Amino acid sequence: MAATIIQTNETPFSPIEVDTITLDIIENALRNAREEMDATLFRTAMSPGIREQGDAFPLIADRNGLMVVGQFGSFIGGFLRAYEGEIEEGDMIWLSDPYSCEGAVSHNNDWLIIRPIFRQGRLTAWACMFGHQTDIGGKVPGSLPTDATSIFEEGVRIPPIKLFRKDVLQEDILKLVLHQVRMPEWCRADLLAIVASCRVAERRVNEICERFGDDLFASATDELLARNKRAMGHLIASAVSEKKVSFEDYICDDGRGFGPYKLKCTMWREGEKVILDFDGTDPQAVGSVNFYLNENMLKMFFGIYMIMVFDPQVLFNDGFYDLVDVRIPERSLLKPAFPAALSCRTHALGRIFDVLGGLLGQGQPEFLNAAGFSSSPHLMYSGFHKDSREWFQLFQIGFGGIPGRPWGDGPDGHSLWPGFTNVPNEFLERYFPMRITRYTSLPDSGGAGKNRGGNGILMTYAFLNDGIIAIHDDRWFTSPWGVNGGEPGERSRKVLRRKSGEEIILPAKCDNIEVQEGDELDYITWGGGGWGSPVERDADLVALEVKRGLVSIEGAFDNYGVKVRDDFTVDEAATTARRAEMAKTIDTSQIFNFGPSIEELRARCEVETGLPAPMPPRQH
Amino acid sequence: MSYRLGVDVGGTFTDLLLIEEKTGRTWRNKVPSTPHDPSVAVINGTEAICAEAGVKPGEIDQFLHGTTVATNAVLEGKGARTGLVVTEGYRQILQVARSLVPGGLAAWITWPKPEPLAPLETTVEVTERLAADGSVVKPLDEASVRAALQRLKNEGIEALTVCLINSYVNGAHEKRVGEIAAEIFPDIPVSLSHEILPEMQEYERALTTVANSLVRPVMAMYVANLRAKLRALGMKGRINLLRSDGGLMGSEKAEGHPVNLLMSGPAGGVTGALWVSRNAGIGNILTLDVGGTSTDVALIENGEPKLRRETSVGHLTVRASSLDVKTVGAGGGSIAHVPELTRALRVGPESAGAVPGPAAYGKGGDRATVTDAHVVLGNLPESLLGGTFKLDRDAAKAVVQKVADALGVTLYEAAQGIIDIANENMFGALRLVSVQQGYDPREFALMGFGGAGSLHSNAVGKLMGSYPVIVPVSPGVLCATGDATTQLRYEHARSFNKMVNQTEDAEIATLLAEMREVVKGDLKDEGVPEDEQSVRFEAGVRYAGQGFEVSMAIDIADFEAGRGIEAVKAAFDAEHKRLFTFNLDVVHEIVNLRAIGLGKAAEMPAQKLAKGDTDPAQAKLRDHRMWVEGQERDAVIYERAKLEAGDRLAGPCVITEMDSTAVILPDHVGVVDDFGNILINPVA
């Protein structure tokens, strides 16, 4: 079954030749419109997750639902195939259930608004945006239960429904949904902000059409897609081999004691087409770490990576989709069967990017980046204020080390996600009962290399109120790998210090941890992997980084072979000797340095991390 | 007689405008800028204009100055080596920043790792801690302060910044650190974050205060130098500098707060446009200031330019008020190119700069620029700057032909394409300040200025539907006009952060009255008499829980009468609806309050032109051919200086003057107003 689109004017658009300059103008205008969508959202949304951190994604698509501007690929095709109903002028579709749109959004927290744009009775374009809601009800604050085994435990599920009909808000529907959530005011504001953003896009599309004509707009979007397809065609032909290459990486565990879960992708080219085959990926998990991966979204990720790695000049859209064939095995971690739990998909989503990076780069190691994606480390903190008894609830996204890159060092404590920012600590302290007593990048946590991986973050939260916390993070068991001689980055860890002085190592994924006033949490994120041999790093730079507190004096010696004196100068003789020694043990024939094998990691896990090793995932 | 002198230092020229205050009589001058020491050109120009006017420098009451000294120090990375003192646990505040990697998905792959504005090796921690309500969690450990500052002694710092957590609520610890720093570093300027920016958000406050430190020594040296030289000339009057927000401030105050001068240059253009708009009787204006490498645009509504709470220079964005000027990398020197992969025509952001410059300048430029496209099309006649500067039309044709070949189009199509794309980039910037802020550009006039503004303004005005397109008098010295005609302005802001149900009208009225006294004191210090002072107020308002506030004008009388809160709520709801299409049933939060004290602006009546007979024949230089809107057409070149009031200029035509050229498109007509501005409208 597929959606029925009701047009009052069925006249097809007449193809018009579009000169290249007009085309560029329309592309710029659409890009401006997309940026305006973001600006509108950030200015009006309420949850810190969206307004401070930017966890929201807009797009504008052509009449066929193909994304012309945006970055997560079009959600519209999947929705249209799955939606059983009519779509008319004045509709505004609202949905959150991944199973109702082929994974266009991948957990219930992402609320998606889809706006068909009609002109003179003809469907002309689409505007959409989704944003992560801080809370959508369900068993735990934040609605990302680690222990869920079905999607029914993961908060309110919204199938595709019409939030607006004939541009009238369906208040009852909104009321019904907001009644299920812990933070209805945030959800209402964020949702209306997303709606306002889509309306902004609609207005801009209308202006462009008025300026150039509806037919020309249709031809122009066709040509923008075609132009991208031609450019990507060249890139694919030159950068992707007909020989099969594979890459595999892991998410560490499922928060239920099992892991790691393997993600494997094999890539090859057949003629002009690239095949990305995830055969060999582990079966779906019992818990909520499954990632229902939409094929088109993966195509977009692939396309963006190709462009950013090989030619950042190309502007991307959905035009090249026909050139990529994505194969994902059913009932695997990346295509779980309904009603598998999905809420904690962020880990696999992050890891997909490491897999793509490793897959694309290994043919041309000079373009290869090291690994860095942990996931989006989350902290949830909620409770009732001790004085007012009012409910407070925080959902915060953390950041870590950007990988070492051919272009240079990875920045320390930065975001791998586009547009994301941290929440100012003064804001946290003013509006939540907590104090941030340390906020720093952690020396030596970035993988050593000619180009250093970025350091992870050490953030110490002092809780000023009783409450519960939840943590969602990864890369605590496997390491962010280094490349071309670079070392892996340090893994993440979480230490809860009770007021009594007792220290507890918390798992990377946990819910419902009770904290009391006076307790402190050290939230430590992963470091990026290193790029190139660390003995080739400029010794003076290593010494300067010691002075800057980014590398320790021991780390400089152990990892870079640089003997730094107390006055931060380099001891040349000791450095030469140590580096000569190190050079013998660095295996430059291997492109990737993953660190120890899974078996070794398991054996050392308890000693190194303070946590029991995960058990191999069960087949089911 | 008393005089005021406006001086604007640009990249190429330093422009001067001298006004006889009683009569409004003016003199204009232009001397080459001296980038190694901008004060040289200022003094040269001052001497020249005084000689021309027969005025002694001692007769100049007010010296009003827009300067890019601070801007250039930031852009060229020539700021001071700055020490930074932070709360323990926060040494990496600038290193981690807001964790933002600009750009889209995977942009981290190519984003260069930034170096913090104050290096980590000169950033030190001190032991202290304040809570979010300003109470002391951990007292300031003065021994830790002394030890930390001693460590900085060996680092050769030239300025010092103090930014402690939660100091925006309580500045006591910062003040004390400042006192100790003054003992240890008696010769170094110290900037305290709670004084420079008393606002929440530690990173932005630290960055803004460090930016202040960064430009403080260079500004102090420049201002001291300039003051000494002006005094040596016998100039005894006040020296005021133009701030990024379009207001003037005394040069002594400016030395301590130079972060407020980062956009002083562009602000001069907007204030100049304001003066023209008052004369032309047009309140709603979009400005288009086209220079060699970039274009600045701004919006003026009802004679009020829009302010923003940030200032951006290059990649640096700090929290200091500035006129909402958007800059795009599209100017006369922007280079056109055609990437092989997409075969799309791109213009800028790369620029040919002053050297080699456009191919038409004959200084070795070998890539097509916007200026070359203008030359090919005939928009720019063969000589510039009153005939002293010849353009090489053949060279321009040769480079534009290369673009044409890459695109597979004709020479003229390529040239027109380059101009169209440049116009589109300017259009994009104008949309940011108009449409995106909820303003309909069709309700605004468009004023082009700067060297190339009037080459583009008609075409851009057509895209925007913004009429009339105004070609102002003396577009080349418009910035100096702005410097000379604007007013002293002092702002005082306080964080408030209260829901409207947690406060009362009386509380706000009392606060506003206190704040009024502060800005009146500032104005008094600058010698503004009581009867020339005016004070107005603003409140930053949002729905509780939102991250951004909207600045609303408020009236202290409303709060004194007990109706202020209701008034500001209603006004905010209306503004939110206009900006974002919806309202929320959520309590309003007043985030901050601001008092703005203004001195009196100069009354500079514009001089009127002789009335003509509507026929511009007396100003015609010669017949001309230009390529416009897809075909070659007959056109006329006019000389600006010979136009008379009421003359009607039918497009297509070109109007030249000493340092500027204007184009009027076909189906448009320009009418010269009483003051010499040309107002272009479509032919009905």
* Residue the block writes with tokens 């913004």: B466
- Backbone phi, then psi, for B445, in 5-degree steps? -85, 165
Residues 6+ apart with CB under 8 A from A207: A29
DSSP type of residue B61: E
Asked whether the predicted pLDDT for residue A268 surpasses 70, the reply is yes
B566: number of Cβ within 10 Å = 12
Name the nearest CA neighbour of B65 among B288, B290, B237, B296.
B237
Asked whether the predicted pLDDT for residue A38 surpasses 60, the reply is yes
- Say yes or no for a CB contact (<8 Å) between B99 and A23: no
User: How high is the pLDDT of residue B307?
Assistant: 84
d(C-alpha B27, C-alpha B20), whole Å? 9
Asked whether the predicted pLDDT for residue B385 surpasses 60, the reply is no
pLDDT tens digits for range B664-674: 999 999 999 99
Asked whether the predicted pLDDT for residue B288 surpasses 90, the reply is yes
pLDDT more than 70, % of chain B: 97
Residues 6+ apart with CB under 8 A from A563: A556, A557, A570, A571, A574, A575, A578
B98: number of Cβ within 10 Å = 18
Cis amide prior to A339 (ω within 30 degrees): yes
pLDDT band at A20 (very low <50, low <70, confident <90, very high): confident
Asked whether the predicted pLDDT for residue A49 surpasses 90, the reply is no
pLDDT band at A552 (very low <50, low <70, confident <90, very high): very high
> What is the mean pLDDT of the segment spanning A361-383?
87
Helix, strand, coil share (%) of chain B residues, nearest 5: 40, 30, 35
User: How high is the pLDDT of residue B11?
Assistant: 67
The DSSP string of A33-78 is: HHHHHHHHHHHH--SHHHHTT--EEEEEEETTS-EEEESS--SHHH
Mean pLDDT score of chain A:
93
The DSSP string of A27-43 is: HHHHHHHHHHHHHHHHH
pLDDT band at A29 (very low <50, low <70, confident <90, very high): confident
d(C-alpha A586, C-alpha A157), whole Å? 51
Query: What tokens were used for A319?
Result: 């035009």
Asked whether the predicted pLDDT for residue B228 surpasses 90, the reply is yes
User: How high is the pLDDT of residue B387?
Assistant: 58
B354: number of Cβ within 10 Å = 13
pLDDT band at B354 (very low <50, low <70, confident <90, very high): low
Asked whether the predicted pLDDT for residue A80 surpasses 60, the reply is yes
Query: What tokens were used for A437?
Result: 């007593």
Q: B305 or A277, which is more confident?
A: A277
Q: B144 or B548, which is more confident?
A: B144
Structural domain spans, chain A? 4-230, 369-532+603-608, 534-585
Q: Are A279 and A330 in contact (CB under 8 A)?
A: no
Residues facing A247 on adjacent strands: A265
Asked whether the predicted pLDDT for residue B581 surpasses 80, the reply is no
One-letter identity of residue B609:
L
CA distances in angstroms from B57 to A234, A563, B51, B222, B481, listed in the order given: 68, 64, 9, 20, 19
Mean pLDDT score of chain B:
90
> pTM of this prediction?
0.87
Enumerate the CATH 3.30.1490 domain ranges in chain B, comma separated. 489-598
pLDDT band at A564 (very low <50, low <70, confident <90, very high): very high
Q: Containing H/E element for B38?
A: helix B38-53
- Say yes or no for a CB contact (<8 Å) between B110 and A199: no
Asked whether the predicted pLDDT for residue A485 surpasses 70, the reply is yes
Q: What residues of A are in contact with residue B343 (Cβ under 8 Å)?
A: 20
Hey, what CATH class is B489-598 in?
A: alpha beta
d(C-alpha A113, C-alpha A198), whole Å? 8
Asked whether the predicted pLDDT for residue B73 surpasses 90, the reply is no
Asked whether the predicted pLDDT for residue B15 surpasses 90, the reply is no
CA distances in angstroms from A279 to A247, A328, A419, listed in the order given: 11, 7, 32
Q: Please, what's the b/e burial string for B169-197 (b: 16 or more CB within 10 A of its CB; e: otherwise)? A: bbbbbbebbbebbeeebeebbbbbbbbbb
Taking only residues 384 to 443 of chain B, the set having a beta carbon closer than 8 angstroms to any beta carbon of chain A reads 407, 417, 420-421, 424-425, 428, 431-432, 436
Asked whether the predicted pLDDT for residue B565 surpasses 60, the reply is yes
The DSSP string of B91-147 is: TTHHHHTT----SSTTGGGTPPPPPPSS-GGGEEEES-EE-TTS-EEE---HHHHHH
d(C-alpha A428, C-alpha B13), whole Å? 49
Is B99 near chain A, with CB under 8 Å?
A: yes
Residue range B283-467, CATH number: 3.30.420.40
Q: Taken in order A6, A8, A10, A15, is the CA torsion positive or negative?
A: negative
pLDDT band at B341 (very low <50, low <70, confident <90, very high): low
- Say yes or no for a CB contact (<8 Å) between B105 and A301: yes
ipTM value for the complex: 0.91
Three-class SS of A551-585: CCHHHHHHHHCCCECCCCCECHHHHHHHHHHHHHH
- Say yes or no for a CB contact (<8 Å) between A418 and B105: yes
User: How high is the pLDDT of residue A335?
Assistant: 97
Q: Are B65 and B483 in contact (CB under 8 A)?
A: yes
Query: What tokens were used for B437?
Result: 């802020």
d(C-alpha A106, C-alpha A109), whole Å? 8
Looking at CATH, the fold of the domain delimited by B78-215 is given as Rossmann fold (3.40.50)
Chain A residue with minimal CA distance to B105? A418
- Say yes or no for a CB contact (<8 Å) between A421 and B547: no
Looking at CATH, the fold of the domain delimited by B3-74+220-261 is given as Nucleotidyltransferase; domain 5 (3.30.420)
Q: A156 or A305, which is more confident?
A: A156
> What is the mean pLDDT of the segment spanning B155-166?
96
User: How high is the pLDDT of residue A141?
Assistant: 95
Enumerate the CATH 3.40.50 domain ranges in chain B, comma separated. 78-215
One-letter identity of residue B328:
V
Q: Are A549 and A503 in contact (CB under 8 A)?
A: no
Q: Are B122 and B94 in contact (CB under 8 A)?
A: no
> What is the mean pLDDT of the segment spanning A193-204?
93
- Say yes or no for a CB contact (<8 Å) between B421 and A23: no
Q: Report chain A's C-alpha Rg in angstroms.
A: 25
Is B499 near chain A, with CB under 8 Å?
A: no
> What is the mean pLDDT of the segment spanning A278-297?
94
Chain B residue with minimal CA distance to A33? B436
d(C-alpha A77, C-alpha A99), whole Å? 14
User: How high is the pLDDT of residue B388?
Assistant: 59
Asked whether the predicted pLDDT for residue A367 surpasses 80, the reply is yes
d(C-alpha A97, C-alpha A111), whole Å? 9
User: How high is the pLDDT of residue B286?
Assistant: 96
Q: Are A332 and A279 in contact (CB under 8 A)?
A: no
Q: What residues of A are in contact with residue B420 (Cβ under 8 Å)?
A: 21, 25
pLDDT band at A50 (very low <50, low <70, confident <90, very high): confident
Please give, rounded to a whole number of angstroms, the shortest distance from the CA of B544 to a CA of chain A. Answer: 8
pLDDT band at A582 (very low <50, low <70, confident <90, very high): very high
Pairing of strands B653-657, B631-639: parallel
Q: Are A605 and A478 in contact (CB under 8 A)?
A: no
User: How high is the pLDDT of residue B13?
Assistant: 73
Name the nearest CA neighbour of B398 among B452, B436, B358.
B358
